[in-house]
Amino acid sequence: MENFKKSTIYQIYPKSFCDSNGDGIGDIPGIISKLDYIKSLGVDYIWSTPFFTSPLKDNGYDVADYREINPIFGTMGDVEELIAEAGKRGIGLMLDMVFNHTSTQHKWFQKALGGDREYLDYYIFRDGAEGAPPTNWQSKFGGSAWEYVPGLGKWYLHLFDRTQADLNWENPKVREELRDVLRFWKNKGVKGFRFDVVNLISKPGLFEDDMQGDGRRFYTDGPRVHEFLKELVRDSGIAPMVTVGEMSSTSLENCVRYSNPAERELSMCFHFHHLKVDYRDGEKWELMPPDYGKLKRHFEEWQTGMQQQGGWSALFWCNHDQPRAVSRFGDDKAYWKESAKMLATSIHMMRGTPYIYQGEELGMANPAYKEISDYRDVESINYYGIMQKAGKTQEEALETLRQRSRDNGRTPMQWDAGEYAGFSASRPWLAIPENHAYINAEAEEQDADSVLAYYRKLVALRKEYPVIQEGAIEFLYREVPGLLAYQRLLGEERLLALNNLTGEPVRLPEPIGCRGFQRLIGNYGEPGELIGELRAYESIVLWKP
C-alpha cells in the first residue's frame, strides 16, 4: 500500500505560522522552532505554501524565481535546515509548485516584455489593439483575464492577478524548465509536491469568447492536461514521491484520471465541490447558509465515485484560501469545541488523505474584522470594490468579506494568549482575532479534552487502523437530513462513523445497538447500549474487529 494512504499532511502558510525575528511576518526559522509541536501531532508531511522569491502580490503564488528563497522568509540555508530537521523527526517536506503562471517579475516575463521572441513564447501573448482583449474571459480575481502591453502591441493572459502571467505549456521549453525546477528541489531532499491549479495548464488551441461563463470551460481540465502531467512526473524523476494537484472546478472523471495509479499522474487531488455548498447560485460572493443536503450528496458522490474508479482524494475543510470551517459549517460560539471536533471526525474517517491546515487543530475561527483596512488579500480588496459597484452597500460588502475572505484563514497562528498570540514579538502583518485568549496552543496543551488533543487522536487512529487507511466506504442513512454517516469495511472489520452536521439533535430511523462495538473516538461521552439520536454536532466512531 502506498505510504500516503496512512499519512496525514499538515499545511503551513509560512507568513502566518511563526515569526522568529519580530518583523511581524512568519518565516522559515519560525517553522523550524515549531517542528516538535508538528511532530507531536503525528503527521507525516508538511506542505508549505510558497516561500520563493516573489513580490508577494498574491502572497507567494506569484513566483519570481523558483530556486531562490524570499529573504523575508529566510535563506536557502534555512530551507536546507528545515528539510534536515523535519527529516530527523520522520517528517517529509512538500513544496508548492506554482506552474500555471509566474510573477510578471520573473526574468522570463521580463525578457518577454523586452521583446525577446524566445521568451514571448513562454507566455500566452496575443496581438491586438488596446481596448479590445482577445476574448471576454474573466480573471478569477475579478476583471478581464487579459492585460495589454502597449509597447508590444500585445495582450497576455492571466487567469489570476495581472501580475501572474500564465505560462505557455504548449512550448516544450517551458515544460523542460519546470521539470528542472522539480529536479532541483528533489536533489535538496524535498519529499513531495503540491501543484497549484494544475488542471488549468492546458489552454485550448483556439481562443474564443465564452457566451456562457467566464471562460473556464475552455481551459479547465484542458485538452492536453493529462499528457502534460504524465510527462512532468515521468521526465522529472519525481514519480515515487507524494504529489497532490489542486484541481479548480474539475470533474470526477478527470480526478480519477489524475490520481488513479495506473495513469501515472499524481497521488491525489484536491477538489472543491463540498466547499461551494454555501455559495448562492454557485457565486462565492453571494451569501447563503450551508446546504447540508447538498454537502452529503457531494461526499457520497465523490467518495464512492473515486473508490469505484480507483482515484484518491485529499480530505480537507480548510486551507489558506478558505474561511475557517468551524465558523462556516459549525458554530464557533455555543458549540465551538463540539463542532470543530465533529468537522474533523467527519473527514478524517473517510477514504483519502487528510490535511490539517495550521490552526485548524486548535479550532481557529474567522476573525470577524470590522474595517476594510484589516484586509490584505488581493482577491478580497478587488471584490470589495466590485461588490459595491454591483450595488451592495459598504456594510453588505464587508459582511460578505467577513464570511468569504481568504484572510479568514490567514490570520496568525495562535500559540498563546499573549498580545501577539505568541506568533511574533511585534504587530503581525494581519491582525490577530480576539478569540486567541482561549483558542491557543498553550491553553489546549493543558486540556485533555481540547480540540488539539482530539486531532492528535484522529491522526493516531488512521495510523493504527488499516480499515481507516484502506477500507471500502459505504454511506448510510442517506435519507436522514443533517446526518453524515458512513461505514468503512475491510475483511471482517467494520468502522461506523456518525456525524451530526447540525446544531439540532437528529433522530436515527431506528436505534443502533452498540454491543460488540468499541468506541474509538467521539466528541461527547461514551454512548449507551443504544444510540437513538445524536446531539448537536455530535460525532461517534464505532469499531468492530
H-helix segments, 269-426? 292-308, 325-328, 336-348, 378-389, 394-404
Q: DSSP secondary-structure letter at 248?
A: S
Contact residues: Ca ion, CB under 5 A: 19, 21, 23, 25, 27
Cβ proximity to ligand TEU, 229 vs 452, nearer residue:
229
The residues near 53 (Cβ < 8 Å, ≥ 6 apart) are 63, 64, 65, 68, 69, 70
Pairing assessment for the beta strands 125-127 and 154-157 based on DSSP bridges: antiparallel
Q: Which does 23 bind (CB under 5 to 8 A by kind): Ca ion, ligand TEU, none?
A: Ca ion
Residue 381 in 3-state DSSP?
helix
What is d(CA 397, CA 375) in angstroms, rounded to the nearest whole number?
12
Q: Which residues pair with residue 354 across a beta bridge? A: 315
Cβ proximity to Ca ion, 23 vs 470, nearer residue:
23
What is d(CA 298, CA 138) in angstroms, rounded to the nearest whole number?
27
Cα–Cα distances in angstroms (integers) from residue 107 to residues 65, 101, 116, 175, in the given order = 8, 13, 11, 16
Catalytic residue selected from 78, 96, 161, 196: 196
Which amino acid, 436?
H
Cβ proximity to ligand TEU, 179 vs 194, nearer residue:
194
CB of 407 to ligand TEU, least distance (A): 11
CB of 110 to ligand TEU, least distance (A): 19
Q: Which does 196 bind (CB under 5 to 8 A by kind): ligand TEU, Ca ion, none?
A: ligand TEU
Cβ proximity to ligand TEU, 357 vs 455, nearer residue:
357
CB of 277 to ligand TEU, least distance (A): 15
Cβ 147 vs Cβ 162: under 8 Å? yes
Residue with cell 488542471: 199
CB of 412 to Ca ion, least distance (A): 11
Query: Hey, CA dihedral for 443, 444, 445, 447, is it positive or negative?
Result: positive
Contact residues: ligand TEU, CB under 6 A: 58, 61, 98, 140, 160, 196-197, 246, 248, 284, 320-321, 406
Cα–Cα distances in angstroms (integers) from residue 356 to residues 44, 57, 191, 331, 361, in the given order = 11, 25, 18, 19, 7
CB of 332 to Ca ion, least distance (A): 28
CB of 361 to ligand TEU, least distance (A): 20
For 391-425, letters b (16+ CB in 10 Å) and e give: ebeeeebbebbbbbbbbbbbbbbbbbebebbbbbe
CB of 390 to ligand TEU, least distance (A): 16
Cβ proximity to ligand TEU, 139 vs 539, nearer residue:
139
Question: Which value, in Å, is the radius of gyration of the alpha carbons in the chain?
Answer: 23
Cell of 323: 474561511
Cβ 436 vs Cβ 414: under 8 Å? yes
Residue 314 in 3-state DSSP?
strand
Q: Which does 148 bind (CB under 5 to 8 A by kind): Ca ion, ligand TEU, none?
A: none
Cβ proximity to ligand TEU, 194 vs 296, nearer residue:
194
Q: Which does 338 bind (CB under 5 to 8 A by kind): Ca ion, ligand TEU, none?
A: none
Catalytic residue selected from 246, 361, 374, 407: 246
Smallest CA-to-CA distance from 374 within 343, 408, 345, 340 is with: 408
246 carries an active-site annotation: yes
Q: Which does 98 bind (CB under 5 to 8 A by kind): Ca ion, ligand TEU, none?
A: ligand TEU
- Within 10 angstroms of residue 3's Cβ, the number of other Cβ atoms is 12
Q: Which does 27 bind (CB under 5 to 8 A by kind): ligand TEU, Ca ion, none?
A: Ca ion
What is d(CA 72, CA 51) in angstroms, rounded to the nearest whole number?
9
Residue 461 in 3-state DSSP?
helix
Which amino acid, 24?
G
Cβ proximity to ligand TEU, 188 vs 284, nearer residue:
284
Instruction: Give the per-residue SS3 of 107-164.
Output: HHHHHHHCCCHHHHCCECEEECCCCCCCCCCECCCCCECEEEECCCCEEEECCCCCCE
235 carries an active-site annotation: no
Cell of 10: 499538515
**Number of residue whose CB is nearest ligand TEU:** 61
Q: Which does 25 bind (CB under 5 to 8 A by kind): Ca ion, ligand TEU, none?
A: Ca ion
Cell of 166: 500564465
Q: Which does 19 bind (CB under 5 to 8 A by kind): ligand TEU, Ca ion, none?
A: Ca ion
The residues near 77 (Cβ < 8 Å, ≥ 6 apart) are none
Cβ proximity to Ca ion, 49 vs 248, nearer residue:
49
Cβ proximity to Ca ion, 42 vs 428, nearer residue:
428
Cβ proximity to Ca ion, 27 vs 538, nearer residue:
27
Residue 195 in 3-state DSSP?
strand
**Catalytic (active-site) positions:** 196, 246
